[in-house]
């Protein structure tokens, strides 16, 4: 049974799953849904994900939404201990950083992305941009401090925590903003850039999203 990923390739949450599927070298179908493609408000799609959001993963009898739940599932089912360790202590640290991205880092950087890229330029609000940048920078400082003492967010091994947070890096580094120096984040970005799966999934133009607030 083929794995099927539903979701537009220019969604950062879909990109996390694309990246993971590629790391695991898993054969799969990919169906573009959401954004300019639409289809995510259809009854058929809502029966898969009542939130009407992407990504959704189908694998055999399983239908799964929430990008980080999908990362955990793929690692558990196909990773043989890679990317989401079986040891409870190591796993807890991966989960800590993955959940921190969901609750703290991603809301901050997505708010910045909306202010700078999704909001049409004539409606840009300098104060809102500065506030979003400040909040995002605070998260990057936390990562920079962490990455000063370990190559990957959860320690010595690359994990789903790096995928969850690393999905932001292309947009962060190419948005039209003043970026503070973050030497350890930059070194981590370079390490991630050595991974083909990161380059293929994440380093993609987001021009189609510029000035679009409809989705």
Assign 79 to helix, strand or coil: coil
Assign 181 to helix, strand or coil: coil
Q: What angle do CA 199, 204, 136 make, to 5 degrees?
A: 90
Assign 159 to helix, strand or coil: strand
Output 16 or 195, the one with its CB closest to ligand GSH: 16
Output 48 or 182, the one with its CB closest to ligand GSH: 48
> CB of 215: closest distance to ligand GSH in angstroms?
4
Binding site for ligand GSH (CB under 6 A): 8, 11-13, 34-35, 40, 53-55, 66-67, 215
Output 80 or 174, the one with its CB closest to ligand GSH: 174
Going by their DSSP bridges, the two strands 56-59 and 3-6 should be labelled as: antiparallel
Output 32 or 144, the one with its CB closest to ligand GSH: 32
Residue found under tokens 């890096």: 169
> CB of 145: closest distance to ligand GSH in angstroms?
25
Residue 106 neighbours by CB under 8 Å, 6+ apart? 12, 164, 165, 168
> CB of 98: closest distance to ligand GSH in angstroms?
11
Rounded to the nearest 10 degrees, the angle between the axes of helix 88-100 and helix 67-78 is 150
Residue 193 neighbours by CB under 8 Å, 6+ apart? 199, 203
Residue among 1, 170, 2, 164 at smallest CA distance from 72: 164
> CB of 148: closest distance to ligand GSH in angstroms?
28
> CB of 211: closest distance to ligand GSH in angstroms?
16
Output 164 or 182, the one with its CB closest to ligand GSH: 164
């Amino acid at each position: 049974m083929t794995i099927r990923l539903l979701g537009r390739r220019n969604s950062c949450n879909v990109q996390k799953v694309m990246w993971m599927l590629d790391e695991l070298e898993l054969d799969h179908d990919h169906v573009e849904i959401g954004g300019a493609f639409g289809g995510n408000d259809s009854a058929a799609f809502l029966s898969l994900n009542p939130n009407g959001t992407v990504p959704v993963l189908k694998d055999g009898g399983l239908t799964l939404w929430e990008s980080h739940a999908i990362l955990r599932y793929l690692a558990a089912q196909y990773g043989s201990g890679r990317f989401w360790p079986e040891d409870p202590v190591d796993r807890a640290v991966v989960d800590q950083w993955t959940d921190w991205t969901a609750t703290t880092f991603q809301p901050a950087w997505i708010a910045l992305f909306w202010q700078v890229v999704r909001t049409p330029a004539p409606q840009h609000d300098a104060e809102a941009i500065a506030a979003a940048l400040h909040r995002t920078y605070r998260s990057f400082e936390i990562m920079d401090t962490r990455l000063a003492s370990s190559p990957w967010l959860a320690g010595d091994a690359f994990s789903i925590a790096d995928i969850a947070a690393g999905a932001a890096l292309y947009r962060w580094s190419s948005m039209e903003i003043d970026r503070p120096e973050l030497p350890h984040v930059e070194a981590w970005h370079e390490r991630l850039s050595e991974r083909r799966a990161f380059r293929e999934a994440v380093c993609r133009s987001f021009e189609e999203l510029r000035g679009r607030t409809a989705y």
